[in-house]
Amino acid sequence: MQEQTNEQNNSITLEDLRPRPEEKKTFPDHFMPRLHPGILFDPKKCTGCGTCEMVCSLRNVSKIAPASASIKVLRDEDSVKNFAILCQHCRKPLCIEACPTRAIEKGEDGIVRINKLFCVACGLCTIACPEAAPLQDPITGEINKCDLCDGDPQCVKYCPSGALILTKGKSFRWIKGLRWFVQTISFLLLVVVLIGTFCSLKAGALSLSCPAGVLQNIASSGVVVLVWVLSTFLIIGLTILAGRFFCGWICPFGFFLDLVDKITPKKIGLPSFFKSRMAKYGILIGAVGGSCAFGFQVFCPICPIGSICRSHGAAGTLNGANMGIVAALAGLEVTERRVWCRYFCPVGAILALFAKIGLIKIVIGANQCKKFSCVQCAEVCPMGIIDANKLREGISPEIPMTECITCMRCIDRCPYGAAKIRFRWQKTIPGNIEL
């Protein structure tokens, strides 16, 4: 037994010769190239001619043999639909995990390649791939997988109908900068410049009010003052136009939580009994009912948005109780992102009701979406409403606009431009969205 262990220690294993990428530490997750190259496929344009297979095999084996190609066109005679199976160059490829000889590598340029020197054509990558994109040549038994022709795909060049498009990725990075700029400006305006704002503000003829505050005001006093109701219209109009734009771009407390998220990147998760998105409606009803019963606005004194707005200035009440709420809710951020906005905020609840009848919607999963291979949108969504599991199954998830805060993080993050804003009435069946 002792001899055997010695022998094992001295022998060179595959671990020494070809360590896994994560063990090599040359390609950590945060170092991933932001733009991922890939081929986009549009099933509506594909005629099923098979030119892509032919030119691909011409490159692979120097002869026209569609079976040796790295792309496969599926033709459904009944529904007259064509579909091309090709490697998506996943962000975290399952084939790399499954390959016993570690012949598959993701290069620094984002292209997943099979190293033919090490490949023994066992076919485990085909079993592990959700799309079965590595294709086994039925004659030679070799595994063929797209390597994007090292950046100049022949299939894209020769596709007669333009169904295949090479993408190096799209960048809507400017949205991120714009969002932080708008958030900072509105934070400064609402908290520092205009004191005690958002809750109620009068600037000449223009009158602004928090809709939740107005509801509580009406409930507590029992009179409906038309000016109060009208003064909420600016924010409600914004919500109908652009969803809960206020929550994502303007709300000073939301900005504060976004900043807290920056310093608490690791999330420990919330117990499931806490996770009821209906709770915020309950709090809203409770606040209005309480105001009716007690005769004053019960929620407004502890409202974190109001607290943070009133925290600065000459009349600023930097009192401990108010700021304690802000600090406690900031502490909750270690569990999930924007916990307050997700589950509890009554202002968000009232805006959610208007966002439900709003004009826009966010759609994810156009023809460009790489579905299971990417799911960056789900990772980056602060409200956690993008269903990564749906995406991994290859289905486009529905985005509930009542929960979406229109922060557009999914849009600026998506490397393929598959997350979009569309009008509510635009036809966008999941998975097949108008370009």
* Contact footprint for another protein (CB under 8 A): 14, 43, 72, 74, 76, 79, 81-83, 85, 94, 97-98, 100-101, 120-124, 126-132, 136, 141, 367, 371-372, 388-389, 392-395, 431-432
Question: Minimum distance between the CB of residue 371 and another protein, rounded to whole angstroms?
Answer: 8
DSSP-derived secondary structure for 153-203: -HHHHH-TT--EEEE-----HHHHHHHHHHHHHHHIIIIIISTTTTTEEEE
Residue with smaller CB distance to another protein, 43 or 316: 43
> 215 and 350 in contact (C-beta within 8 Å)?
yes
> 340 and 307 in contact (C-beta within 8 Å)?
no
Question: Minimum distance between the CB of residue 124 and another protein, rounded to whole angstroms?
Answer: 6
Residue with smaller CB distance to another protein, 222 or 272: 272
Residue with smaller CB distance to another protein, 128 or 175: 128
Residue with smaller CB distance to another protein, 74 or 327: 74
Question: Minimum distance between the CB of residue 308 and another protein, rounded to whole angstroms?
Answer: 37
Question: Minimum distance between the CB of residue 92 and another protein, rounded to whole angstroms?
Answer: 9
DSSP-derived secondary structure for 282-337: HHHHHHHHHHHHHSS-SSGGG-HHHHHHTTSSTT----HHHHHHHHHHHHGGGTST
Question: Minimum distance between the CB of residue 165 and another protein, rounded to whole angstroms?
Answer: 16
Residues in the chain: 435
> 263 and 330 in contact (C-beta within 8 Å)?
no
Question: Minimum distance between the CB of residue 175 and another protein, rounded to whole angstroms?
Answer: 27
Residue with smaller CB distance to another protein, 399 or 433: 433
Could you tell me the two tokens for 157? 């060049």
Residue with smaller CB distance to another protein, 270 or 395: 395
Return the number of other C-beta atoms located less than 10 Å from residue 133's C-beta: 24
Where b means 16+ CB within 10 Å and e means fewer, 44-70 reads ebbebebbbbbbbbbebbeeebeebbb
Beta-carbon contacts of residue 94 (< 8 Å; ≥ 6 apart): 128, 129, 130
Question: Minimum distance between the CB of residue 143 and another protein, rounded to whole angstroms?
Answer: 9
Residue with smaller CB distance to another protein, 46 or 257: 46
